[in-house]
Amino acid sequence: VRHLVLVLGDQLDLQAAAFDGFDNTQDAVWMAEVAEESTHVWSAQQRIALFLAAMRHFAQALREAGRPLHYRRLDDADNRGSLADELQATLAALKPQRVVMTAPGDWRVWQSLKAVVEAAGLALEVCEDRHFFNTVREFAAYAKGRKSLRMEFFYREMRQRHGILMQHGKPVGGQWNFDVDNRESFGAKGPGLLPQRALFEPDAITREVLDLVRTRFAEHPGSLDSFAWPVTREQALQALQTFVAERLPLFGRYEDAMWPGEPWLYHSQLSAALNLKLLNPFEVVHAAEAAYHAGHAPLASVEGFIRQILGWREYVRGIYWTQMPGYLERNALYAQQPLPGWYWTGDTDMACLRDAITQTLAHGYAHHIQRLMVTGLYALLLGVQPQQVHAWYLAVYVDAVEWVELPNTLGMSQYGDGGLLGSKPYVASGRYIQRMGGPCSQCRYKPAEREGDDACPFTTLYWDFLMRHEPMLAGNQRMVMQLKNLSRLTEAERQAVSQRAEAIRQGRVGGSQGQPA
Ligand code: FAD
Ligand code: SF4
To test the pocket of ligand 2, the residue of 355, 458, 460 to mutate (highest count of ligand atoms within 8 Å of its CB) is: 458
Q: What DSSP designation does 397 have?
A: -
Reading phi first (left if > 0) and then psi (alpha if -120 to 50, else beta), residue 150 is in beta
Q: What DSSP designation does 512 have?
A: -
Same domain, 122 and 185: no
Same domain, 38 and 183: no
Q: Is 376 in the pocket of ligand 2 (CB under 6 A)?
A: no
Q: Is 231 in the pocket of ligand 1 (CB under 6 A)?
A: no
Domain count, the chain: 3
Q: Is 374 in the pocket of ligand 2 (CB under 6 A)?
A: no
| Angle, vertex CA 228, rays to CA 10 and CA 259, nearest 5 | 105
Domain assignment of residue 371, given as a range:
341-505
**Tens of each residue's pLDDT in the chain, 517 residues:** 999 999 999 999 999 999 999 999 999 999 999 999 999 999 999 999 999 999 999 999 999 999 999 999 999 999 999 999 999 999 999 999 999 999 999 999 999 999 999 999 999 999 999 999 999 999 999 999 887 788 999 999 999 999 999 999 999 999 999 888 888 999 999 999 999 999 999 999 999 999 999 999 999 999 999 999 999 999 999 999 999 999 999 999 999 999 999 999 999 999 999 999 999 999 999 999 999 999 999 999 999 999 999 999 999 999 999 999 999 999 999 999 999 999 999 999 999 999 999 999 999 999 999 999 999 999 999 999 999 999 999 999 999 999 999 999 999 999 999 999 988 999 999 999 999 999 999 999 999 999 999 999 999 999 999 999 999 999 899 999 999 999 999 999 999 999 999 999 998 887 755 444 3
Q: Is 414 in the pocket of ligand 1 (CB under 6 A)?
A: no
Taking residue 215's Cβ as centre, other Cβ atoms within 10 Å add up to 9
Nearest CA to ligand 1 atom 48: 271
Same domain, 60 and 114: yes
Nearest CA to ligand 2 atom 3: 440
Q: Is 370 in the pocket of ligand 2 (CB under 6 A)?
A: no
Q: pTM of the full predicted structure?
A: 0.97
Compute, in angstroms, the gap from residue 149 CA to the centroid of ligand 2: 33
In this structure, which amino acid lies at residue 129?
A: D
Q: Hey, is 277 helix, strand or coil?
A: coil
Same domain, 162 and 304: yes
Q: Domain ends where: 95, 127, 159?
A: 127
Q: Is 514 a member of any domain?
A: no
pLDDT value for 105: 93
Compute, in angstroms, the gap from residue 277 CA to the centroid of ligand 1: 15
The DSSP-derived string for 144-190 is TT-S---HHHHHHHHHHHHT-SEETTEEGGG-S--GGGS----TTT-
Residue 324's φ and ψ, nearest 5 degrees, are -75, 155
Q: Is 206 a member of any domain?
A: no
Selection from 261, 258, 263 nearest residue 186 by Cα: 258
Residue 391 CB-density burial (10 A; 0-12 exposed, 13-18 middle, 19+ buried): middle
Same domain, 89 and 154: no
Q: Is 213 a member of any domain?
A: no
CATH number at residue 23: 3.40.50.620
Same domain, 400 and 430: yes
Q: Is 347 a member of any domain?
A: yes
In this structure, which amino acid lies at residue 446?
A: K
Same domain, 145 and 53: no
Q: Is 271 in the pocket of ligand 1 (CB under 6 A)?
A: yes
What sign for the dihedral angle of Cα 464, 507, 456, 426? positive
Q: Is 306 in the pocket of ligand 1 (CB under 6 A)?
A: no
To test the pocket of ligand 1, the residue of 194, 305, 399 to mutate (highest count of ligand atoms within 8 Å of its CB) is: 399
In this structure, which amino acid lies at residue 432?
A: Y
Task: Say which residues have a Cβ less than 8 Å from residue 386's Cβ, sequence separation at least 6.
Answer: 330, 331, 335, 409, 410, 414, 416
Same domain, 121 and 148: no
Q: Are 241 and 269 in contact (CB under 8 A)?
A: no
CATH number at residue 427: 1.10.579.10
pLDDT value for 512: 59
Name the closest ligand to CA 403: 1
Name the closest ligand to CA 198: 1
Compute, in angstroms, the gap from residue 271 CA to the centroid of ligand 1: 6
Q: Is 233 a member of any domain?
A: no
pLDDT value for 513: 52
Task: Annotate 125-159 with b (16+ C-beta within 10 A) or e (fewer).
Answer: ebeebbbbbbbbeebeebbeeeeebebeebbeebb
Quick one: how far is CA 103 from the chain centroid? 19
